[in-house]
Structure 1
Amino acid sequence: MNKAKVIILAGFLGSGKTTLLKQLLMEERQKGTKPAVLMNEIGAVSIDSDAVQGDVPLSELLNGCVCCTLQDQLERQLIILCQQHQPETIYIEATGVAHPVDILDACLSPDLLNYIEETVIISIIDSPRWLNRDVMSIQSKMLLSEQVKHADFLIWNKTGELSAAEKNQLQEDQNRLNPNTSAVMTDFSRIDAEIIKNLTSSQKGNHEPAALGRQLKVKSFVYEFNGPITKESFENWLRQAPDSIYRMKGYMQFIGEKGTILMQYSYGLPQYEPEIMKKPLKVVIIGEGLDVELLRGQLEKLS
């Protein structure tokens, strides 16, 4: 049996991991290669799994983080994917609060030696968030730095609106934290897939343990709308939403507009995409130290 190459897609909440995964899977399809995907979500509901087409083997680990509470399950699911589907490449899309080296450690388990050839880490960094990270909690800033420090390849995402000075700052930060790693600056996680396929792993230094992710006190909860709401009321609510909300993603309907839309929100900005399939009107909200009951009450007033 051929061994699989594992590619860990790391990055903070809303950095662009799923966007990159969709592009990589499209490239795999065009070339006729055999990928598989393992997705990890903090909460009980997965929205990002819709990015994986039905013919691609998919394993989901919900309600926890593979770098700590679900590490044993990660090993088992990787073995199952390899035994049942014999993929050439396995993409692991980690949660936004996962430490990539802890996931790497799980992939290096002796039980996986016969299944995995190599494991590499790609960190997708939300560049504006990085440049403004001083407003984040100490734990969040530490995790962001660790994701930069231990990457085999860095994608500085969302750089289109940055000034030359800000881009220079990104380069200086990279030189300080991870000087020997290649990187690109891009938007919408656009990158030549051949670069990804040709990556090799590097020796990892000391890192903060998985407990760092647990210290973030990240919560997620799912809110289900009873029906369409006005876009204006929703965006007014977003403008007043706490900074501790890092990520929102789900399906909504707006009064006066046809069909269902996929809403994605990170770093204060919502994005909307039309959704062809009929979906339940559920939104997953992820953040640090969220007052779930307060947010639920506010959303109920929008219904």
Structure 2
Amino acid sequence: MPKGYKFCLLKNEFGDVKVDSQIAKLKNIDVQEMTNGCLCCVLVGQMKEGLLELKEKYNPDRIIIETSGSAFPGPIAWQVRELADDGFVLDSILNVVDCKNFDGYADNSYTAQLQAKYTDLVLLTKHEGVSERDLDRVIDRVNDLNTDAPKVYVHVDKPVSPELIFGLDTKLFELQGAMAPNNQTFQEELDRHGKKSHHKNELDTMEVKCFSDRNNTLTGQLTLEKFETFLATLDKDEVYRLKGFVRLSGIAQEGSDQTTSSICVINHAFGKWTITPVPEKLNVAHEDEEKRTQCHDEHCHDEHHHHHASSQKNEDHELQMHLIIMGDLWAYKYKLIYGCGAEYPIGRVLCEYKASSDVITWDKMHPGTYNEFVAEQMAAKQ
């Protein structure tokens, strides 16, 4: 960015794991992250408040809104346009297309098709990793969805110039006209494919939290080697995204041959991942204890055994793993929960499948293994 140019990043992700914020903080970027919902549906009012707060606090030249991968851009654009009297102008809508994985994702996600269709500029990433024939097929498919928007190659070692993406003065999603929020024809096109419940129609999500005995620092710790072996087993066509925090042992110490244990940020997308140790002072794995012991409201009202894990004293346990997983996860349930190789004595898994929901909590303070726990769960369902 030009020297002296101020910008803010408003980030939207599933779940309440603020992975992207922590990565940004390591690079000295201040991020306001909106979690536990989608900007285009559940968080509609909150986004306006977030924008006004950023303006008052920083008065930036630009605000970049990065939505989750399954957010429809229309409602977000309308919200920005409604803030015109507060000095906000919608500049452009940008769409990033992962050339390596777009075909499979677009097949499962009507929202992905809408994103490619209603955009001012298509940024083509990961094109270096595909054959010329496959790249032509992806571009042909994007052109079928959107003929008019320019397509620009983004090289892995060369950032996109601000001069290219700023100042486009978009005409998409104006408050009056063919793509206005009150245009019946446009709304029918969206609702026909279930936009109002697009997350449940397109994605499974899973939240995994595991805790260990606070007085035993070795219990429940994964080794870096075991965890990477586990990540390598996840099918990129089914697990689109995995993000979160895990305490790992076997982390190399800078400038030394020794290894240590550290909280790490895990960022996994379509079969590739990064694992970044985080300074303990960021305190990323010590969440609000009251919050982490509460069951998910919509699941726990009539299932008393789900409260079992909540009965533990806060001071007895320490969060060791907190992951959010998105994709087509039905067949991955036990693999994701119990496939890592550690034996956490207490934990919780919230599963939101396209067809159903599920909650598992466990409390095994006495000797027991994941395999034994899985066997119990399987026997209980028979």
TM-score by length of 2: 0.61
- Secondary structure, counterpart of 2:164 in structure 1: helix
Mapped pair 1:68 → 2:70: no
1:297 corresponds, among 314, 338, 348, to 338
Could you tell me how far 1:159 is from its partner in structure 2? 0.8
Instruction: After superposing the two structures, state which structure 1 stretch, 158-167 or 260-269, moved more.
Output: 260-269
> How many residue pairs align between the two structures?
269
The one-letter code matched in structure 2 to 1:296 is: I
Q: Does the CA contact (< 8 Å) of 2:122 and 2:152 recur in 1?
A: yes
Unmatched 5+ stretches in structure 1: 1-26
Could you tell me how far 1:47 is from its partner in structure 2? 0.7
Unmatched 5+ stretches in structure 2: 174-178, 180-185, 213-219, 253-258, 286-319, 345-382
Structure label with greater radius of gyration: 2
Could you tell me how far 1:230 is from its partner in structure 2? 3.0
Which residue is 1:17 aligned to? none
- Secondary structure, counterpart of 1:195 in structure 2: helix
1:46-85 to 2 correspondence within 5 Å? 46-53=18-25, 58-85=31-58
Q: Which has the higher contact order (CA 8 A, sep 6+)?
A: 1
Cα distance in structure 2, aligned partners of 1:165 and 1:266: 23
Could you tell me how far 1:36 is from its partner in structure 2? 1.6
Cα distance in structure 1, aligned partners of 2:58 and 2:166: 19
Which residue is 2:6 aligned to? 34
1:149-298 to 2 correspondence within 5 Å? 149-188=117-156, 190-204=159-173, 205=179, 206=186, 208-209=190-191, 210-211=195-196, 212-224=198-210, 228-241=221-234, 243-252=237-246, 253-255=248-250, 257=252, 258=259, 260=262, 261-272=264-275, 274-275=276-277, 277-278=279-280, 280=285, 282-288=321-327, 290=329, 294=334, 295-298=336-339
Cα distance in structure 1, aligned partners of 2:105 and 2:46: 32
Change (3 A) 1:220 1:35: farther
Q: Does the CA contact (< 8 Å) of 2:221 and 2:342 recur in 1?
A: no
Q: Does the CA contact (< 8 Å) of 2:95 and 2:116 recur in 1?
A: yes
The one-letter code matched in structure 1 to 2:72 is: H
Change (3 A) 1:245 1:168: closer
Cα distance in structure 2, aligned partners of 1:97 and 1:112: 26
Could you tell me how far 1:256 is from its partner in structure 2? 6.1
Q: Does the CA contact (< 8 Å) of 1:39 and 1:59 recur in 2?
A: yes
Q: Does the CA contact (< 8 Å) of 1:43 and 1:220 recur in 2?
A: no
Cα distance in structure 1, aligned partners of 2:126 and 2:241: 16
Provide the identity percentage. Answer: 23
- Secondary structure, counterpart of 1:156 in structure 2: strand
Could you tell me how far 1:247 is from its partner in structure 2? 0.8
